[in-house]
Amino acid sequence: MIRPSVITKVISGPVHRYGVMNVNGKRSVGILGGGFAGLCTVSSLRRRLGGTIEITLFDKNNFLLYTPVLHEMATGTVNARHVVVPLRKVINAGEIHVRCEEVTAVDLEARVLETTSGRFSFDNLILAQGSESNFYSIPGLKENSLSLKTIGDGSTIRNRIIEHLEKGALEKNQDRRRALLTINVVGGGCTGVELIAEIAQFINIILEKDYPEIARPEVRITMIETAGKILTSFPAYLSQVAMERLKALGVELLFNTRLDWVDENTIGLNNDIRLPKGILIWTGGIRALDLNTKQDIERDSINRIMVDNYLQIPGYPDVYVIGDAAHFVQNSNPLPPTASVAVQEARSVADNIAKQMQKKPLIPFHFHYRGDMASLGFMSGVCEVYGHQFQGFIAWVIWKAFKLALLPRYKNRLQIVADWLITYIFKRDTSRLP
Ligand SMILES: Cc1cc2nc3c(=O)[nH]c(=O)nc-3n(C[C@H](O)[C@H](O)[C@H](O)COP(=O)(O)OP(=O)(O)OC[C@H]3O[C@@H](n4cnc5c(N)ncnc54)[C@H](O)[C@@H]3O)c2cc1C
């Protein structure tokens, strides 16, 4: 039961610089999106303002997807149930209103979120709707590829790999067998590299024991990347280490190569090379999720909403945008779409809402870069933390520690650590799930 003081049917009105108090005297904040950004805003607001603020969180799903281990879920190291955190388990539903429904429109002027069950007004809006895969209008790509953004994507990749191995083990026709045993990953950023390393290691480990009908050289695992190297945001040395590691795992690296088109059976590259499509996984970019705003606002080429130094939409000082949905410029470049950025932005917004309430000047947001890290299969990785570079097992341990810190629930942390231990002892499972 939603308390009427918190969510009120909307009447449009003037924009108030410091918001309007609702009838019980508490400031109301409506948050769209319970991902890293939205959830961290909830906890930061509670920490700073306690019960003096009424928070309502809208999300079409009732869980947070813990993306940093999604590639491990896609290759059977981590159980699917352990990568989702139920929102109501990390939020005290007695204090925060959780509405599991899709927001269909936003009125920035009136600070209203619209859903199929009504229109809800707040003193502050925080938009954190996240992102989806960006297929850049490449012909045939969306219909013929898999991506890694949702829990469903992770399961599909895993099932598809196992299905292709089962069929490949039986196939006698050489062309069909080659196609079944081809895996192409497009995009050599963190997601693509972490995924392809896991896939290659998974194949290397299970093939000999579980699929003796297939020789390892028959499985072609290719990374396609437009740049001349992978992990372009990393220091050159770590990028080189990652490249060597992928080669050692049996990954073929195609650099300076662009995917131009895809059909059911073939992928076409810019240098006139054609490859069997096999399993094609696209990790080549993201775009902010569409959000129907009543007012025209400026967005960048990947649909992110332009925000000012305070993460507010220019002209709408009570509306903030954070996480993957926001285009925030620092040192002349937009910040990358990462959970670390989302979490720091969330804390800044919570601070500034507290300042708005106290009628104090707001503090501009500044992202503090702490490092970059990528796993390169089970028990290997590269990372740069506070200027120090690590590789191999030690980098993997640091990676795990940092990433687990982003996970807001101890139970999930323990479950994931247990999954890693079980994988270490018993190896990965190859059952295809319905
Ligand atoms: C495979 C993978 C691995 C990654 N690994 C890392 C990593 O190791 N480290 C790192 O820092 N970052 C990583 N990232 C990036 C990180 O996941 C994102 O930057 C982060 O999730 C952004 O947080 P967000 O809150 O903006 O969006 P999200 O976490 O995507 O949350 C958005 C939420 O909004 C909800 N929503 C969207 N539209 C609506 C609507 N209309 N109505 C209601 N609800 C809605 C969605 O259901 C979702 O819960 C990874 C991403 C992927 C895909």
Q: Which helix (H) or strand (E) holds 398?
A: helix 393-405
User: How remote is the CA of residue 358 from the centroid of ligand 1, in Å?
Assistant: 31
| Cβ < 6 A, ligand 1 pocket | 32-38, 58-61, 67-68, 70-71, 102-103, 128-130, 148-149, 191, 289, 323-325, 337-340, 342, 403
Angle between helices 151-170 and 190-210 (to 10 degrees): 40
Listed range (6-20, 323-337, 401-415) with the worst mean pLDDT:
6-20
pLDDT at 8 over 60: no
User: What pLDDT, in 10s, does the model give residues 242-299?
Assistant: 999 999 999 999 999 999 999 999 999 998 899 999 999 999 999 999 999 999 999 9
pTM: 0.92
Domains of the chain by residue range: 27-60+101-133+287-357, 141-279+371-426
- Copy the structure tokens of residue 396: 């993997």
The pLDDT value given to residue 430: 67
User: How remote is the CA of residue 35 from the centroid of ligand 1, in Å?
Assistant: 5
pLDDT at 18 over 60: no
Q: Do domains 27-60+101-133+287-357 and 141-279+371-426 have the same CATH topology?
A: yes
**Which of 338, 341, 347, 416 is the pocket-test mutation for ligand 1 (most atoms within 8 Å of CB)?**
338
User: How remote is the CA of residue 391 from the centroid of ligand 1, in Å?
Assistant: 27
pLDDT at 360 over 90: yes
User: What pLDDT, in 10s, does the model give residues 227-257?
Assistant: 999 999 999 999 999 999 999 999 999 999 9
Looking at 269-363, list the stretches that DSSP marks H as alpha helix, in order from N- to C-terminal side.
339-357
The pLDDT value given to residue 226: 97
Task: Identify the CATH number of the domain defined by range 141-279+371-426.
Answer: 3.50.50.100
pLDDT tier for residue 424 given thresholds of 50, 70 and 90: confident
Instruction: From the CA of 341, give the closest atom in ligand 1.
Output: 11
Q: Whose CA is nearest to atom 6 of ligand 1?
A: 68
User: How remote is the CA of residue 36 from the centroid of ligand 1, in Å?
Assistant: 6
Q: What class, spelled out in words, does domain 27-60+101-133+287-357 have in CATH? A: alpha beta
User: What pLDDT, in 10s, does the model give residues 124-137?
Assistant: 999 999 999 999 99
Cβ proximity of 166 and 210 under 8 Å = no
The pLDDT value given to residue 433: 62
pLDDT tier for residue 110 given thresholds of 50, 70 and 90: very high
User: How remote is the CA of residue 359 from the centroid of ligand 1, in Å?
Assistant: 32
User: How remote is the CA of residue 206 from the centroid of ligand 1, in Å?
Assistant: 31
How much is the average pLDDT of 320-334?
A: 97
């960048």: which residue's tokens?
300
Angle between helices 410-426 and 393-405 (to 10 degrees): 150
pLDDT at 411 over 90: yes
Q: Whose CA is nearest to atom 30 of ligand 1?
A: 130
pLDDT at 171 over 90: yes
Cβ proximity of 241 and 394 under 8 Å = no
User: How remote is the CA of residue 293 from the centroid of ligand 1, in Å?
Assistant: 20
Q: Whose CA is nearest to atom 2 of ligand 1?
A: 67
Report the side by side order of strands in the sheet with 251-254: 146-147, 279-282, 182-186, 220-224, 251-254
The pLDDT value given to residue 431: 65
Average pLDDT taken over every residue of the chain: 92
Instruction: From the CA of 63, give the closest atom in ligand 1.
Output: 49
Instruction: From the CA of 337, give the closest atom in ligand 1.
Output: 19
- Give the span between the Cα atoms of 242 and 223, in whole angstroms: 12
How much is the average pLDDT of 361-383?
A: 95
